[in-house]
Every structure is written in structure tokens, then in C-alpha cells.
């Protein structure tokens, strides 16, 4: 039986679990993420980061979530760069799943759930994302959730010692709950099994 996947707003108490995953997965994430200072991988560093994310949430610029499987934190899903103007309503989504929980569908289900939050709670019209050109697993997650690539940003991020290109992705949210795998018809953060 596959475990359920849920998302919820991040909490200060999540710092230790996130730090534990990030410390164990330093090498696994090295090709896909910028280098971080050592403090990033500690509960104190994550607590400070969570405080910043929650400040962004209160300001309306970020929706920072955690991904849960069977009630345990296994990753994060975040909507950043939120714009809610009459003529421009968009956000950029990012996510990661701890190595111990990968290849079980959690990333796809979490992305589907956060797209529901974007369309519902946040009132956004457009979802954006970016991936390293070689990050095929993340690209599959985006495709399964209705994203399409629309361009390449050249030499845009410093990863693993070199400037890398990013593939840009978009999804028009429309009437999401009926279209997304894992997106519930209600609030957007409920669980889904199997």
C-alpha cells in the first residue's frame, strides 16, 4: 500500500525534520541546487529560514509548505514570487522530496495539491517553474501536472560550481480541481492515497 501524501503550511516545529533530510541528502541534491552555508543544514539554520518564509507568507509573497507522508515531513513545496494584481496573478513553484521518500509519487501529488492552493486560496491564474536542463525526474513531475516548457534561461543559476541553463515551465491554472492528479475539490491540502 502506498502512503498518503498531504501538504500544509510550514511550521517552526518542522525545522529539525527538514534539517535532518537536507543534511542526509547534500550529495543527492548537489547537482540541482545552489551551494548552501553549513548552517543551512542545522535545525537552527532551518528555523531561521522558516521564520523568513513565514514572514513572506504574512506579506503575501510566498506560500511555504511541507510535504507529508503518513504524517511525517518528507519534503517541501513552495510557491514564491507571488503576484496578485488585477492584470497579473502568478507564482513560481518549487519542491523537493527527501531521498528516502523518492520514487513513490509524492512529488507529483504534492505539486497537484499546491496547484489547487494556487488556484483556490491564492487566486492565481498562472503557475511557473524552472528546472535544470538535465533534471529529467523533475521535468516528468511537471509534465504529469500539466506544465509545458516555454523557453530556456541561459546561464541563470550557479550550480555545483558552474553557471547552468534552466528550462522554464508554465501552467495556466484554469479550473484546476477537475484537471489535476492529486488535487482535491476542497481546500487544496487534503491527503490522497494510492
In a domain, 186, yes or no: no
In a domain, 40, yes or no: yes
CATH code where residue 52 lies: 3.40.630.30
In a domain, 192, yes or no: no
Which residues in the chain belong to E strands, given as ranges? Answer: 5-9, 63-69, 72-85, 88-97, 126-132, 148-159, 162-172
In a domain, 58, yes or no: yes
In a domain, 13, yes or no: yes
Q: Which domain holds residue 149?
A: 5-178
In a domain, 75, yes or no: yes
In a domain, 129, yes or no: yes
Distance (Å, rounded) from C-alpha 43 to C-alpha 103?
26
- Which CA distances in Å does 16 have to 11, 23, 44, 171? 11, 10, 8, 33
pLDDT in tens, the chain (194 residues): 456 899 999 999 999 999 999 989 888 887 778 778 888 889 999 999 999 999 999 999 999 999 999 999 999 999 999 999 888 899 999 999 999 999 899 999 999 999 999 999 999 999 999 998 989 999 999 999 999 999 999 998 888 788 989 999 999 998 554 444 444 333 334 333 22
The total number of structural domains in the chain stands at 1
pTM (2 decimals)?
Answer: 0.85
In a domain, 72, yes or no: yes
Amino acid at each position: 500500500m502506498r502512503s498518503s501524501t498531504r501538504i500544509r503550511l510550514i511550521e517552526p516545529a518542522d525545522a529539525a525534520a527538514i534539517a535532518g533530510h537536507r543534511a542526509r541528502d547534500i550529495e543527492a541534491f548537489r547537482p540541482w541546487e545552489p551551494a548552501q552555508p553549513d548552517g543551512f543544514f542545522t535545525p537552527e539554520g532551518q528555523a531561521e529560514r522558516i521564520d523568513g518564509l513565514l514572514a513572506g507568507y504574512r506579506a503575501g509573497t510566498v506560500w511555504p509548505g511541507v510535504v507529508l507522508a503518513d504524517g511525517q515531513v518528507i519534503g517541501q513545496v513552495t510557491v514564491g514570487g507571488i503576484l496578485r494584481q488585477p492584470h497579473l496573478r502568478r507564482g513560481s513553484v518549487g519542491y523537493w522530496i527527501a531521498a528516502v521518500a523518492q520514487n513513490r509519487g509524492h512529488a507529483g501529488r504534492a505539486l497537484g495539491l499546491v496547484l489547487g492552493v494556487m488556484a483556490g486560496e491564492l487566486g492565481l491564474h498562472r503557475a511557473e517553474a524552472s528546472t535544470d536542463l538535465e533534471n529529467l525526474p523533475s521535468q516528468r513531475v511537471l509534465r504529469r501536472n500539466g506544465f509545458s516548457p516555454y523557453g530556456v534561461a541561459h546561464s541563470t543559476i550557479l550550480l555545483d560550481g558552474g553557471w547552468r541553463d534552466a528550462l522554464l515551465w508554465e501552467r495556466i491554472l484554469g479550473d484546476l480541481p477537475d484537471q489535476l492528479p492529486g488535487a482535491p475539490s476542497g481546500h487544496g491540502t487534503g491527503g490522497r492515497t494510492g
